[in-house]
Amino acid sequence: MKYFLPLIIFTLFISRHTFGQSAKHVIIISIDGFRPEFYQDNSWAAPNLQQMAANGVQANGVRGVFPSVTYPSHTTILTGVMPLQHGIYYNAPFEPNGATGRWYWEENLIKTETLWDAVRKAGLKSASVFWPVSVGAPVDYNLPEVWSLDKNMDRVTPIRQAAHPKGLLEEIEQNATGKLQEKDLNSDYLIADENGSRMAAYLLETYKPNLLTFHVFAVDHAAHQEGRDGEHVRKAVAAADRAVGNILEAIEKAGIKESTAVIVTGDHGFVDIKQSFSPNIILAQNGLIGKEKDNWKAKFHTSGAAAFLHLQKKGDQQTVSQVKKLLAGLPDSQKKLFRIVERPELDKIGADQNAVLALTPIPGVTMSATTEGDLLKAAQGGTHGFFPDFKEIQTGFVGYGAGFKPKTTLPLLGLEDIAPLVSRLLGITSPSAKAAKPDVLEAAVK
The DSSP annotation for 261-310 comes to EEEEE-S---EE--EEE-HHHHHHHTTSB-SSTT-BSEEEEEETTEEEEE
> Which pLDDT belongs to residue 8?
38
pLDDT of residue 433: 64
Handedness of CA 220, 224, 229, 233 (dihedral sign): negative
Instruction: Give CA 290 to chain center in angstroms.
Output: 34
- In the chain, residues under CATH classification 3.40.720.10 are 18-270+390-444
> pTM, whole model, 2 decimals?
0.94
Beta pairing, strands 126-129 & 275-277: unpaired
Residue 14's pLDDT is 35
The CA distances from residue 201 to 115, 313, 326, 398, in Å, are 20, 50, 54, 19
Tens of pLDDT along the chain (446 residues)? 433 334 333 333 333 433 468 999 999 999 999 999 999 999 999 999 999 999 999 999 999 999 999 999 999 999 999 999 999 999 999 999 889 999 999 999 999 999 999 999 999 999 999 999 999 999 999 999 999 999 889 999 999 999 999 999 999 999 999 999 999 999 999 999 999 999 999 999 999 999 999 999 999 999 999 999 999 999 999 999 999 999 999 999 999 999 999 999 999 999 999 999 999 999 999 999 998 988 999 999 999 999 999 999 999 999 999 999 999 999 999 999 999 999 999 999 999 999 999 999 999 999 999 999 999 999 999 999 999 999 999 999 999 999 999 999 999 999 999 999 999 999 998 777 667 788 888 999 99
Distance of CA 417 to the CA centre of its chain: 14
* Dist CA 163 CA 184 (whole Å): 17
Per-position DSSP letters for 50-100, written without gaps between them: HHHHHHSEEEEEEE--SS--HHHHHHHHHHSS-HHHH---SSS---TT---
Q: Which CATH architecture has domain 18-270+390-444?
A: 3-Layer(aba) Sandwich (3.40)
The fold adopted by the segment(s) 275-379 is: Gyrase A; domain 2 (3.30.1360)
Handedness of CA 346, 93, 302, 222 (dihedral sign): negative
User: Smallest Cα–Cα separation from 250: which of 176, 156, 306?
Assistant: 176
Q: In angstroms, rounded to a whole number, what is the distance separating the alpha carbons of residues 404 and 55?
A: 10
Q: Where in the chain is the domain with CATH 3.30.1360?
A: 275-379
